[in-house]
Amino acid sequence: MDSKTGAHIKNFLYRMLCGVLLGVSVIAPGISGSIMAVVMGIYDTLLEIISNPFKNFKKNVIYILPIGIGGVLSILALLQVLHLMFEYFPLPSYMLFISLIAGSLPTVYNEAKKGFKLKYLTGVAGAFALALTVGITARYAPALMVDTSAAEGTFKMFYYPICGAVAGVTSMIPGMSVSMVLMMLGVYKPLLDAATSFDVLTIALVGVCFIIAMILFSKLTRYVFRRWRALGYMLVLGFMCGSLITIFPGLPKNITDALLCVAAIAVGIIISIALQRLGKKFAKNIEI
């Protein structure tokens, strides 16, 4: 094997590893896929490809292929694990991911304070209020519907794809977690159940809307974060803080749940610190 072939294989395997980590970020609430891409040094390239998918199409496919393979493998491997976690340990699971979201706040804040202006606080308050309103509405609005299978099916056919599109819009925003958005909208657990039960129609509709929205809004995301970087991060900060309140599941009701929640929070903090250290080590010179 010559050195050129060896380099290509290493490149392929590295991008597959990147895909594995991005796949984890898609289904694990609190882990931002865009931040992971920054850490791994592929954010700019991915944003360029997604915003111009048909420019250098063959080259783009070759670059994306191993990332896609790694992402699919990690999602399939973790789906059942996460399904079981939320099925049997719902409260500790939510606490784990809440701690992951909270652990990302310092990273987002450090970016937001660069070029900060006092008037940006209005944006923070607006984003916080929006997240709070959307999250509370999403949590309680479905309960107001007539409890029939027909209404439930109609609701799913329209609401779930809309949530997928919203997640697609936010997917390339640094600091935002796709699963956090789905959790805030109240569809994370139902979509997780749909995936583990092979509800192909539901997942396909959500997936198509996600991809279309991601492509359509990637250019806007790129423009905003290059033109108004600090304001963009302040908006993300406000949105994340509002989301934390809306997805909080309540306090544990017994000692077992309390101990598991403490352990889950500790694990979330450790993972957050590890990701931040990786970011400082590998992404110092990466511009978003």
pLDDT tens-digit profile of 171-217? 877 667 787 788 778 788 888 888 888 888 888 999 999 999 988 88
CB 144 within 8 A of CB 188: no
Q: Is the pLDDT of residue 253 over 90?
A: no
pLDDT (tens digit, 9 = 90+) per residue, 139-184?
Answer: 665 544 434 344 466 677 888 899 999 989 888 776 677 877 887 7
In contact, 204 and 45? CB cutoff 8 Å: no
What pLDDT is stored for residue 148 in this prediction?
Answer: 34
pTM > 0.75: yes or no:
no
Structure tokens at 232: 């963009």
CA distance linking residue 255 with residue 266, whole number of Å: 17
Q: Are 225 and 174 in contact (CB under 8 A)?
A: yes
For 170, residues 6+ apart whose C-beta sits below 8 A from its C-beta are 176, 178, 181
Higher pLDDT, residue 10 or 128: 128
Instruction: Return the pLDDT at 275.
Output: 66
Distance CA 171, CA 177 (A): 7
| pLDDT band, residue 279 (cuts 50/70/90) | low
State which amino acid sits at residue 161. P
SS3 percent helix, strand, coil of the chain, rounded to 5, is: 80, 0, 20
